[in-house]
Amino acid sequence: MSITQPHASVKTALAKVPEVTLLFWIMKIAATTLGETGGDAVSMSMNLGYLVATGIFAIIFLVVVYAQIRAGRFHPTLYWATIIATTTVGTTMADFADRSLGIGYAGGTAILFTLLLLSLAAWHWVMGSIAVDTVSNPKVEAFYWVTIMFSQTLGTALGDWLADTAGLGYAGGAVVFGGLLALVALAYYRTRVSRVFLFWTAFVLTRPLGAVVGDFLDKPINAGGLDLSRYGASALLFAFIIGCIVLFRQRASQVAH
């Protein structure tokens, strides 16, 4: 969904940000689900552990973010590679904090939510706005991607907390987060709530939805999952995202969203 009214003066500033449409949200959910299955494949199936997996994905994250910031225009493949990088490093980072460090899902969620708010506050304090139409220079892009990385990490902890600790299960968690996203969409169409607030709310909520869907796909049947191969599920999700990039033209956004 598009978030605000067209404004011609931000066309250049948004040259590397995709237009926010239904396709954007579908791909975002697929990317976050891939982050869960892909992160678990490296940390668990490959038996590398959360810390080593986080180190691997952190390097990939830094490389693709650097490439994205250095790019002169919007490249769909590069943009979505960066989104996937944020969600995979977010998955293993949250799992390392929650499980290896023993912080727990509730503690991890609280810490990451605080970090997300601090990131948004710092962005607003330094640049005067957290609207995506301000993404027009490397400094703002750095805030943009750091904020996204925190939101992806928060989503992993939040999804695991509701699905496991709160006892909702993966299917129940998917229903909860899907319902919350539906409420955000309803607020967009029926209210005058800030479009910037709704965008970031939806952006954050798609991550725990992807987390519980990813766990539903690859967790054992006796744990409430389908027990699919993490490698197979990741490959299918990756193929879906590539297919969307190839088959559907994604334009650089020319409106503030």
> Does a structural domain hold residue 51?
yes
Question: For a pLDDT cut of 90, what percent of the chain falls above it?
Answer: 49
> Does a structural domain hold residue 254?
no
> Does a structural domain hold residue 95?
yes
Model pLDDT, residue 5: 42
What is the secondary structure of 130-161 as a DSSP string?
-SGGG--SHHHHHHHHHHHHHHHHHHHHHHHI
Model pLDDT, residue 188: 93
Model pLDDT, residue 254: 65
Counting the structural domains of the chain, the total is: 1
Q: What is the mean pLDDT of the chain?
A: 86
Helix, strand, or coil (residue 169): helix
253, 13 Cβ separation under 8 angstroms: no
- Closest to 137 (Cα-Cα) out of 18, 20, 10: 10
Q: Is the pLDDT of residue 17 over 50?
A: yes
Amino acid at 61: F
Domain that holds residue 186: 8-247
> Does a structural domain hold residue 116?
yes
Q: Is the pLDDT of residue 11 over 70?
A: no
Question: For a pLDDT cut of 70, what percent of the chain falls above it?
Answer: 91
Confidence of residue 134 (pLDDT cuts 50, 70, 90): low
Model pLDDT, residue 22: 92
20, 3 Cβ separation under 8 angstroms: yes
> Does a structural domain hold residue 2?
no
Confidence of residue 97 (pLDDT cuts 50, 70, 90): confident
Model pLDDT, residue 211: 86
Model pLDDT, residue 16: 72
pLDDT, tens digit, for every residue of 211-241?
A: 889 888 888 887 777 888 899 999 999 999 9
> Does a structural domain hold residue 183?
yes
> Does a structural domain hold residue 105?
yes
> Does a structural domain hold residue 26?
yes
**How far apart, in whole angstroms, are the C-alpha atoms of residue 90 and residue 243?**
24
